[in-house]
Amino acid sequence: MEWSILQQYGPLLLSGFATTILCWALGTIFSMILGLLIALVQRYAPRPVGWVIQAYIEIIRGTPFLVQLFVLYYGGPLIGLRLDALPAGLLGLTIYGSPYFAEIFRSAFNAVPLGQIEAARAIGMSEPSIIRRILLPLGLVSALPALVNFSIILTKETVILSIITVPELTYQTQRMSTETFRYIEANLALALFFWALVETISRVGRRLEKRVTRHLTERT
Amino acid sequence: MPGASSVEIRKVNKHHGQFHALKDVDLDILPGKVTCLIGPSGSGKSTLLRCINFLDEYESGEIRIDGQLIGYESPGGRKMPARKLREMRRSIGMVFQQFNLWPHMTALGNVAEGLMRVRGLPKAEAERRAKNALEKVGLADKMANHPSRLSGGQQQRVAIARALAMEPRLMLFDEPTSALDPELVGEVLNVMKTLATEGMTMIVVTHEMGFAAHVADQVAFMEQGELVSVDVPDKILHQPKDPRIKAFLRTYHERNSF
Ligand SMILES: Nc1ncnc2c1ncn2[C@@H]1O[C@H](COP(=O)(O)OP(=O)(O)OP(=O)(O)O)[C@@H](O)[C@H]1O
Ligand SMILES: [Mg+2]
């Protein structure tokens, strides 16, 4: 193995890693927000709207991200949606992740005891207040482990952005391997970077979980 | 208590899906009086109670609080706007079997929440009133605790304080002591007794026959969605005429004797 090659390509890999983190972070945030909105609309909207949303969820979950991204990036211009690689990648991640997040939020909201919501209704609280003060705080807490878990899964989906030429880490390591034929070093570096990212996310997630549940668990 | 509410219930019907849960129920509750609802499990007591603040939506008949119809704009008419319903609910307190405190808020937070979000009071004023309400139920020293750090009896008293802080004119209790360990029942019943002597209008679904006998002004017996009989406690609990009430009390006594 030739580790000096990593020194040479270090800056390139680092910039790729930065792009990966950026794509992951923004993609996660956007798809989480979209998923949250979907879950809220599903909860409160009339039936037909719910069916439309359910269809969206099924379609997105039923197709590979790779295909979605192709359609968006290469098919988009046909309907006038011309995006650069990075924005297209972010939009793709947002769409791809949203139904999973929506399902996480939906089941978390369903897990909030109805009685606690009725208690709020009984004192005359409005539905927006109930959402903000009761449903969201309790729902988010119970959703947290699943949210962290799916955002970890999303780190790996960012890899696919390389096929539409987003200069993220995979893209750069591929470039390094084709230029130098150092496949092993390149892929080891790739694995190491991802491991560091995933490990960080799960650590932060565990701490967060501990923090937000500290008042909710019965001391026995 | 000045401004205690009256409740008139007329020919109220309610289905849960196919199930006819309330059948032409009639009941009158005078201001400042305590009414206990008793009856076997599944007889519709909770459903009736929940129709009074329209958490359960009755389909026909009328429920009037101080003469004002709840839930509908007119008998058999359109649903009342959500805003109007919320306004009516502000003066109806409700206490649940499972307490239903909000676990992410302290005792003080639970009580202050409605004052801030519903009454629109500034935080300081809301907390001052919340403290008073908690003092009233004997929990001033526990106000910083989250529900997970309170006993069942304490949680239920916080729930009562949460309702009282809104200054209701009517209080609904759905088996407030049924989820409690026996030794914690007394502290909750005592708070309720005090409330009764202060002249609050109260409707209490309960299996505590002692409370019904000593505190209630009237006892209503329900079975299979019907309000079978309503009378002073003594008439229902000690000299029942209806065989259904007799049968109910017999099983009650059998269960509680040893
Ligand atoms: N949301 C619901 N959906 C379907 N059926 C319901 C619902 N709520 C109540 N019921 C049914 O309606 C009937 C009356 O229920 P309700 O809770 O009013 O009885 P209850 O007198 O309060 O009984 P308990 O003493 O067990 O609390 C029961 O047979 C119950 O199964
Ligand atoms: Mg009940």
For a mutational test of ligand 1's pocket, the pick from B18, B47, B207, B252, i.e. the residue with the most ligand atoms closer than 8 A to its C-beta, is: B47
Helix (H, G, I), strand (E, B) or coil at A207: helix
- Residue given tokens 């009133």 in the structure block: B129
- B92 interfacial to chain A (CB closer than 8 Å): yes
Take atom 16 of ligand 1 and give the residue whose Cα is closest: B44
Pairing of strands B60-65, B226-231: unpaired
pLDDT at A83: 86
Range of weakest confidence among A178-192, B97-111, B119-133, B176-190: A178-192
For residue B22, count other CB atoms closer than 10 A to its CB.
27
Nearest by Cα to B153 from B169, B142, B165: B142
Q: Which residues contact A31 (CB under 8 A, 6 or more apart)?
A: A93, A94, A95, A96, A97, A98, A100, A101, A154
Given a cut of 50, whether residue B101 has pLDDT beyond it is yes
Buried b (16+ CB within 10 A) or exposed e, A147-184: bbebbbebbebbbbbbebebbbbbbbbbbbbeeeebee
Residues A112-126, mean pLDDT to the nearest whole number = 96
Q: What is the mean pLDDT of chain B?
A: 94
Q: Given pLDDT bands bounded at 50, 70 and 90, which one contains residue B76?
A: confident
Range of weakest confidence among A176-185, B22-31, B140-149, B219-228: A176-185
Q: What is the mean pLDDT of chain A?
A: 91
pLDDT at A82: 87
pLDDT at B141: 94
Proximal ligand: closest to the CA of B45: 1
Q: Which chain A residues are closer than 8 Å to B155 by Cβ? A: none
* Interface contacts A/B by beta carbons within 8 Å: 80
Q: Which chain A residues are closer than 8 Å to B65 by Cβ? A: none
Residues B5-25, mean pLDDT to the nearest whole number = 95
pLDDT at A220: 44
Question: For residue B249, what are its two tokens?
Answer: 């009390």
Proximal ligand: closest to the CA of B16: 1
Q: Given pLDDT bands bounded at 50, 70 and 90, which one contains residue A2?
A: low
- B28 interfacial to chain A (CB closer than 8 Å): no
Ligand 1 mean position, distance from CA A110 (Å): 21
Q: Which chain B residues are closer than 8 Å to A133 by Cβ? A: 102, 113, 117
Ligand 2 mean position, distance from CA A150 (Å): 40
Check A124 against B87: CB less than 8 A apart.
yes
Phi, psi of B11 (to 5 degrees): 50, 45
pLDDT tens for B217-233 read 999 999 999 999 999 99
Atom of ligand 1 minimally distant from the CA of B49: 18
The CA distance from B88 to the nearest CA of chain A, in Å, is 8
pLDDT at B2: 59
Q: Which residue of B lies nearest to A116 if distances are taken between CA atoms? A: B100
Q: Which chain B residues are closer than 8 Å to A217 by Cβ? A: 148
Q: Which chain A residues are closer than 8 Å to B94 by Cβ? A: 119, 122-123
3-state secondary structure B222-250: EECCEEEEEECHHHHHCCCCCHHHHHHHH
Residues A110-133, mean pLDDT to the nearest whole number = 96
Mutate: best of B70, B97, B104, partner A, most A CBs <10 A = B104
Check B148 against A218: CB less than 8 A apart.
yes
pLDDT at A181: 86
Q: Given pLDDT bands bounded at 50, 70 and 90, which one contains residue B140?
A: very high
The CA distance from B254 to the nearest CA of chain A, in Å, is 32
pLDDT at B1: 55
Pairing of strands B218-223, B226-231: antiparallel
Q: Which residues contact B21 (CB under 8 A, 6 or more apart)?
A: B14, B15, B44, B47, B225
Proximal ligand: closest to the CA of B96: 2
Residues B88-106, mean pLDDT to the nearest whole number = 95
Q: Which chain B residues are closer than 8 Å to A126 by Cβ? A: 82, 86, 117
Residues A27-33, mean pLDDT to the nearest whole number = 97
Give Rg (Cα) of chain A.
Answer: 21
Residues with CB under 6 Å of ligand 1 are B 16-17, 19, 21, 39, 41-47
Q: Given pLDDT bands bounded at 50, 70 and 90, which one contains residue A34?
A: very high
Take atom 24 of ligand 1 and give the residue whose Cα is closest: B41
pLDDT at B23: 96
Q: Which residue of B lies nearest to A134 if distances are taken between CA atoms? A: B102
Q: Which residues contact A78 (CB under 8 A, 6 or more apart)?
A: none
Tell whether ipTM is more than 0.95.
no
The CA distance from B218 to the nearest CA of chain A, in Å, is 25
Residues A67-81, mean pLDDT to the nearest whole number = 89
Residues B72-100, mean pLDDT to the nearest whole number = 95
Ligand 2 mean position, distance from CA B40 (Å): 9
